[in-house]
Structure 1
Amino acid sequence: MSAETAAGPSPSHVKDAHRAMWARGDYPAVADRLIPDLGGRLVTALGVGPDDRVLDVAAGSGNASLPAARAGARVTASDLTPELLDAGRRRAADTGLDLAWEVADAEALPYDDASFDVVMSSVGVMFAPRHETAAAELLRVCRPGGRVGVLSWTPDGFVGRLLATLRPWAPAPPPGASPPPLWGTPGHVGDLFGDGVTDLTHDRGEVVVEGFTGPTEFREYFAAGYGPMLTVYRSTADDPEQRAALEEAVDALVAEHDEGGGTMRWSYLLSTATRA
């Protein structure tokens, strides 16, 4: 697959809405509490090491970028949302890590072809609406023989099912958009990368989430800090009946995944490949 054969990037108004959604709440705090080690798993799987030129796409506040920098790589953390990059920049400064933080659209990356040894994304690029376009960009900026890796929530895991649960109250997706959790299925990733990669492998893993007393506490925490959920909460602010239906649906999903004592397991797919 090539950038020329993929659909073009999403319209600017879609980008504006996407940027605003992830700027709401406090996603950096949510990521720090619930998935602090997730990006590091991707960095390890890709074998990131000293002097690798690494691009983290849809990097957020640096869940994968910071571990890559700690491994000695020369890292560029890119994201559509400046507020997330600002949080990552502060974290890097606090820990003495040196990396670049740049606003960039995953569907139209502002980098030359074959610019990086490693191109990666941890639960980030999956949210770009046009999967084919984003996948083409990941491959375009990776040098031949370089490594590409994505870590994505699965459709049947908790986060994938949460996004599906929120869908009735969420804004309609733009034309050409695909559901984010499709990135969590091996067949979809294989179709997206096609003959642009070799040695494509998939590993399914889990994140153990603990510390919530029950569905209500989890829902209230997520509704305050997680952009997609905060967005649907705002959409039901003036409709008590719809708000109640939303809360009931989310609480039921959390209760279904609660293994006792507030412990949940969230499944993800980690896919790595070599750029052909």
Structure 2
Amino acid sequence: MITLDDVKTRHRTIWAGGDYARVARDLIASLGPVLVDACGVRPGEHVLDVAAGAGNAALPAARAGASVVASDLVDALLDQGRAAAAREGLDLRWEEADAEALPYDDGSFDVVLSCVGAMFAPDHRRTADELVRVCRPGGRIGLLSWTPEGFVGRMFAAMRPYAPAPPPGAQPPVLWGQASHLTELFGDRVVEVTAHRATVRIDAFADGAAFRDFFRAHYGPTVAVYRSLADDPDRTAALDRDLAAVGDEALDDTGDGTMSWEYLLWTGTRAQAGSASSQSA
């Protein structure tokens, strides 16, 4: 029987495959600064980037003058982030850590954030609990997550029939892109909540086949699904067609040669003891 610990081992392999740093740099580099700005990161604040990858949010937080810890389950991604930080002369701590069991004391950080990262931890409740625990009362939590209805959600839906079955208890990552799911996870532990959907424009692909080939070569989850089909050329060809179709549909939707990838930007303040919830969306 596959356990959640098995999934974490699989996640390390998945995200170490391909070249996620290139995906983050070439396609979604703008998202980290969007999240950092939404969280109001200020010089001197202690910031934790959970599931930081190669530092899409950690690097702009450091540029803002914060003292930043970038944590991730995959050390290979942290190595890429360290290299990027060194090229800019930025001073960050890069630490291997599980989003479901963060190795930090209660209330250690002024800001806890995650840019399309923590959403991939299999146990959503434990992950949310950890984000709250390590944030000081009155500190801010910020999340940027792909939505189920958006392009990345549709891409994952297209890959799902071809991927190995998840273990019992593992929830779909794109649920983090639904404000109602986050309300359920965080409850009144987080107040002054804001949640809105926005899009990032992608102009890197001439057609759906170009999108598919880029993700097949560089995006860990897509690389992993194709590897699982290595001995099944018919299913590989079917996945080729399905992913190209998702890309072509996204290009057709905009009509101007770009894709529009939807995400949920969610922020809130960790409640002080005894405070009441005040939410807006």
Provide TM-score, normalisation by structure 2: 0.93
Q: 1-side partners of 2:37 and 2:199: how far apart?
A: 16
CA distance in 2 between partners of 1:108 and 1:175 (Å): 19
Question: Is the 2:196–2:264 Cα contact (8 Å) retained in structure 1?
Answer: yes
Q: Which residue of 2 aligns with 1:66?
A: 59
Deviation of the 1:230 alpha carbon: 0.5
Matched, 1:101 2:94: yes
- Tell me the CA shift for residue 261 of structure 1: 5.4
SS in 1 for 2:200: strand
Q: What amino acid maps onto 1:43 in structure 2?
A: V
Residue identity in the other structure for 1:157: G
1:171 counterpart SS class: coil
Unaligned 5+ runs, structure 2: 272-281
Q: Aligned pair 1:176/2:169, yes or no?
A: yes
RMSD (Å), alpha carbons: 1.0
Cα distance in 2 for partners of 1:94, 1:111 equals 28
Identify the residue that residue 87 of structure 1 maps to in structure 2: 80
Any conservation in 2 of the 1:129–1:174 contact (CA below 8 Å)? no
- Is this contact kept in 2: 1:22–1:228, CA < 8 A? yes
1:265 has 2:260 as partner: yes
Q: Secondary structure at the match of 1:222?
A: helix
Identity of aligned residues (%): 60
**Alignment correspondent of 2:279:** none
Structure 1 residues 63-105: Cα deviation after superposition (integer angstroms, max 9, x where no partner)? 0000000000000000000000000000000001001000000
Map 1:208-219 → 2, pairs under 5 A: 208-219=201-212
For residue 201 of structure 1, the aligned residue among 168, 175, 194 is 194
Note the C-alpha offset of 1:213. Answer: 1.5
- Contact kept? 1:158, 1:267, Cα under 8 Å: yes
Give distance in 2, aligned partners of 1:15 and 1:263.
34
Residue 129 of structure 1 aligns to a residue whose secondary structure is coil
Mapped to 2, the partners of 1:174 and 1:59 lie a distance apart of 24
Letter in 2 for 1:88: G
C-alpha displacement of 1:30: 1.0
The partner residue of 2:111 within 118, 123, 127 is: 118
Which residue identity lines up with residue 265 of structure 2 in the other structure? L
Counterpart Cα distance in 2 of 1:200 and 1:41? 17
Residue 251 of structure 1: how far off its partner (Å): 1.1
Give the AA of the match of 1:35. I
CA contact (8 A) 2:192 2:269 kept: yes
- Provide the rounded CA distance (Å) in 1 between the counterparts of 2:256 and 2:34: 26
Contact 1:56 1:77 in 2 (8 A): yes
In 1, Cα distance between equivalents of 2:130 and 2:85? 26
2:146 is the alignment partner of 1:153: yes
Provide structure 1 residue ranges, at least 5 long, that are not aligned to the other structure: 1-9
Q: Matches of 1:67 and 1:179 in 2, distance apart?
A: 28
CA contact (8 A) 2:4 2:122 kept: no
- Report what 1:7 is aligned to: none
CA distance in 2, matches of 1:203, 1:45: 11
Give the CA deviation at 1:260. 3.9
CA contact (8 A) 2:112 2:140 kept: yes
Paired with 1:90 and 1:171, the residues of 2 have a C-alpha distance of 33
- Aligned-partner Cα distance in 2 for 1:262–1:24: 29
| Residue 30 (structure 1) aligned to one of 10, 23, 47 | 23
Equivalent position SS for 2:145: strand
CA contact (8 A) 2:4 2:170 kept: no
- Which TM-score applies when normalising by structure 1? 0.95
Query: 2:224 pairs with 210, 219, 231, which one?
Result: 231
Given candidates 236, 248, 264, the residue that maps to 1:243 is: 236
